[in-house]
């Protein structure tokens, strides 16, 4: 069993578990299947994105100084976007005279921060 086959098998298990959880949470099999498929593809792309160092036989090594630096900058970028989005929500809520913010808007701010982190990480690792 090669390292890449083990990697794909474990990521398939993770994507399946995520799809099952989404199916239980939403009750919609199509959404669960789509989320599981997207998660599996994303996990495969991460393997080939340069995030991890690999030897010629496919063994994954620990991250080097460059990898840690990229991960730190990407996390910072995601956090800054999250803080700015949350501040904008707070300011807009107060300007409109509302005392609460919709949970959907807070979830959108969190998703924006996470997508910024992912995009920043992948952008910095391009060769």
Question: Quick one: which of 90, 87, 67 has its CA closest to 79?
Answer: 87
pTM of the model: 0.60
Three-state secondary structure of 72-113: HHHHHHHHHHHHHHHHHHHHHHHHCCCCCCCHHHHHHHHHHH
> Which tens digit of pLDDT belongs to each residue from 80-127?
999 999 999 999 998 888 888 888 899 899 999 999 998 998 888 875
Residue that is written with structure tokens 């949970």 in the block: 103
At 53, is the pLDDT very low, low, confident or very high (cuts 50, 70, 90)? Answer: low
């Amino acid at each position: 069993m090669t390292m890449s086959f083990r990697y794909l098998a474990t990521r398939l298990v993770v994507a399946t578990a995520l799809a099952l959880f989404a199916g239980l949470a939403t009750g919609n099999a199509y959404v669960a299947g789509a989320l599981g498929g997207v998660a599996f593809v994303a996990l495969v792309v991460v393997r080939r994105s340069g995030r991890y160092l690999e030897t010629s036989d496919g063994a994954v090594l620990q991250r080097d100084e460059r990898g840690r630096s990229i991960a730190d900058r990407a996390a910072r970028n995601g956090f800054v976007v999250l803080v700015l989005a949350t501040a904008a929500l707070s300011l807009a809520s107060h300007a409109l005279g509302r005392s609460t913010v919709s949970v959907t808007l807070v979830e959108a701010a969190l998703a924006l921060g996470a997508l910024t982190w992912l995009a920043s990480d992948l952008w910095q690792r391009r060769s």
